[in-house]
Amino acid sequence: DHFPSDPRGYLDAALVELNRENPSGAIDILDPISEKFPKEFSVQYLLGSSYQQLKEYDKATKLLRRSLTIYPDSRGARHTLAIASDAMQYWSESDSLYEGLIASDTNDVQALNNYSYSLVERNTQLNKSLEMSKKAIEMEPDNAAYLDTIGWIYFKLNNAQKALYYIRRSIELEGENAVVLEHLGDVLNATDQMDDAKTIYLRALDLDKNNDVLKQKAGVIPD
């Protein structure tokens, strides 16, 4: 407790932990002081971001909302809250945040991609999702995550050939990713390439060993 009235020491120490990719360490530093500095944007934002990285979305949303009452224009806080609220299925909140981010910067490529992925995961507004995804790909044609998004949208729009093209390109660029491999398996399965799909599901399961959905798809456990 070296900096009782000044948050900077705590913030510097927390940033060291975050730069080490240790959000738990940042939480250990910031959580005890978050109520002491309720109007300190950086304390609330970094603590909320740390919880978001650990997928503790309930805590993350509360802290990030608080940070935005202090500094409503923070794009970083709006982005991070959008991800956390989307994960909590607070879609009116996440949609509103993404709409605002894109309205104020039509080239916000991360917002374009994340919003389009959120929509396709809900199987809603697929044409809007596709338009945003196309724009993201125009700006970053070799971004593996964005290529997976557009491939997944094409799959939901029943264009399996385009889906395969983009999802395979994503895997080419990024290598093994359980979610992207599962997407590839789903497209192969839908196009009657069952054996290939099973091989891909097993590769995905190797990366995400406790995923029961993948176990079922790979035939490791019965439906």
For residue 4, what pLDDT is reported? Answer: 65
The single residue listed with the structure tokens 């044609």 is 141
pLDDT of 151 higher than 70: yes
Cα–Cα distance between 153 and 158 in angstroms, integer?
9
Spell out the domain ranges in the chain. Answer: 1-90, 176-223
Which H or E element spans position 31? none
% of the chain residues with pLDDT over 70? 97
The single residue listed with the structure tokens 């940070």 is 67
CATH dotted code for 1-90:
1.25.40.10
Instruction: Output the average pLDDT for the chain.
Output: 96
Which CA distances in Å does 3 have to 7, 91, 142, 160? 7, 39, 45, 58
Q: How confident is the model at residue 221 (pLDDT cuts 50, 70, 90)?
A: confident
pTM: 0.91
pLDDT of 6 higher than 90: no
